[in-house]
Structure 1
Amino acid sequence: MSDSEIIFFYSHYHPGSLRAKIVLSKALDKIASKLKLNFRSVDVLNEPQLCEKYCVGGVPTTLIVNKNNIVTKLLGEFDESEILLLLKQTEKKIRGK
């Protein structure tokens, strides 16, 4: 998944996106060695062009992108088990398994 990345869109003014950022970081710590995903955290107020490129209309929004194409888009908050399952499913989808 070397051409793949997780892009997490958030706002410092939105408590839900700050909670989701913590959950995502913990989940990535658990599986970082297994998945080859770059991680990018984007404050929507600082990067409006990137938000427009990926049609981000709210926070938190989590994208898994492969070669600039959205593979998975998750809107809203999530718990650790949800994001871990999503990452594993997405890895299989990208690898074609």
Structure 2
Amino acid sequence: MTIRALLIDDDPDTRALLALALSSDGRFTVEAMSRFDAASELHRDAAGYDALLVHLLESEGEGAALITAIRQWAPALPIVTLGAAGTIAKPVDPLALPTQLAEMLEA
């Protein structure tokens, strides 16, 4: 089964690197976007994703606010957070990310 993941990170370089790492692994198809674009995409089609990876911005709280909104649109959607206080700490090891994410989703 292919997992359709949405990667949400406001840093375009990080977004591109992590999206490449996941899409290079045969288990994932990935869309990557900023939190601003992701909010409208998820409001429109949250059911179209199997998992979300959200970068938590510790100083501003935007990632947490987005997660709160997502929980209203899709309460059962698995969300993996990236960041110092996240499920996966940053800096993320792009080579390990596909396996980390797959294991988390299987648990």
Structure with the higher fraction of residues in helix conformation: 2
Structure with the higher fraction of residues in strand conformation: 1
Higher relative contact order (CA 8 A, sep 6+): 1
